A and B are shown apart, each in its own frame.
Chain A
């Protein structure tokens, strides 16, 4: 646990040194969501209908974009092997790394989403529900992606495969996130899909760090 916190602190320091990546990630998110509305040339009503889906998909993709940073540099310079040799449970290592990753790559998306939602013509309660779904869904997505990143850490160009491994399992999270926002936009209660997202997050928190730790061990040199 204490070593886990030390890893967390270390991760933050490294990410702030690599602040360019954080900016790139946020810029990618904003720019890609705007691209959809520019290219489609949709009128306002349709735009509001598509908003939640577009924002969710782009959020997922921009998080995947940053995923190779999670283990690849540490694997290449040997830090990861040393960490695995230490007394720390690799599950804690995976959880700490995923947590730091979410804070710098997931949280900004959650905070920005009301703004982008508004630009898509979402209004009222939907602008509260959209960030709520992202706040519940993105940590679970990061944990899923952590497992995939650990499985593909040894591969040179593993991003494509990583995405392919994450996307099918990410599907339910995506569906419930979008559904909740759509229900909110139409004035229906959203408790059920939000609870589902919460359940996914708890399940992911309980099981996936362990799987990611095992994956790190399995693919270690």
Chain B
């Protein structure tokens, strides 16, 4: 299978560098604005929950973080797969750029989940729970990807080896997604039902959607910044890099 032509053009590092530099500030500022609006709406405007009171409001941070933790893993794995199949170096650079961002969001999702778990389930952590365990596994997969990448000296070897790890780790994504439904038969104790018993009302829902959109834009901006730095580092011998750096200075 061949890639479409426009993708090939975008995959050229100087082209990517220019385009990314142009869209990045828009993503960053609109993302931050959406996060501000969403946080205001979620923390102040939305009504308290009739069962969970105000404690449920951590959902406005927990859900976007958990969503992005998975999305960024998918981005990292897809980037690695594109690199392995079509040998596109830019895809590897994007995968390597996404990993630390994904790790950070996974850490945030775990931390907010634990803080929420304490008042709701009475415990920060429950080892028998498939959702918690599979997200922790994802945390270590991100870590393993970064450590493997860092310990292999030659960059092209590191890209391919860590890429294979990322692709193998994809099996974890559906496990995370469906863990809440699949494991009720095996694990006992409290089951997570995130949007509690009553269907969520619009008053509570819109800040959540705005928060998710803002977090997506923000994380894309950060990933693009990191990817641009990766590209500069990887292509540092090339003429266009010297021109681009000279233009920035």
Contact = CB atoms under 8 A, between A and B. Distances in A.
A193 B136 CA distance: 21
Count chain B CB atoms within 10 A of each CB in A154, A169, A175 and give the residue with the most.
A169
Contacts of A168: 136-137, 140-141, 144
Contacts of B136: 168
B59 interface: no
B164 interface: yes
Q: Is the interface of B mostly helix, strand, loop or mixed?
A: helix
B157 interface: yes
Given A215-B161, A218-B160, A219-B161, A155 B152 contact: yes
A161 B140 contact: no
Count chain A CB atoms within 10 A of each CB in B137, B144, B147, B165 and give the residue with the most.
B144
Interface residues of B, number: 27
A134 B157 CA distance: 34
Contacts of A165: 144, 148, 165
A54 to B, nearest CB: 16
Contact of B151 (A155, A167, A171, A211): A155
Contacts, number: 65
B175 A172 contact: yes
A151 B165 contact: yes
B140 A214 contact: no
Interface string A119-160: 000000000000000000000000000010001101100100
Given A167-B140, A168-B141, A215-B161, A154 B168 contact: no
Contact of B185 (A175, A192, A208, A214): A192
A164 interface: yes
Interface of A: 147, 151-152, 154-155, 158, 161, 164-165, 167-169, 171-172, 175, 179, 192-193, 203, 207-208, 211, 214-215, 218-219
Given A203-B171, A219-B161, 13 more contacts: A147-B168, A151-B165, A152-B151, A161-B147, A164-B144, A165-B144, A168-B141, A168-B144, A169-B168, A193-B186, A215-B164, A218-B157, A219-B152
Interface of B: 84, 133, 136-137, 140-141, 143-144, 147-148, 151-152, 157, 160-165, 167-169, 171-172, 175, 185-186
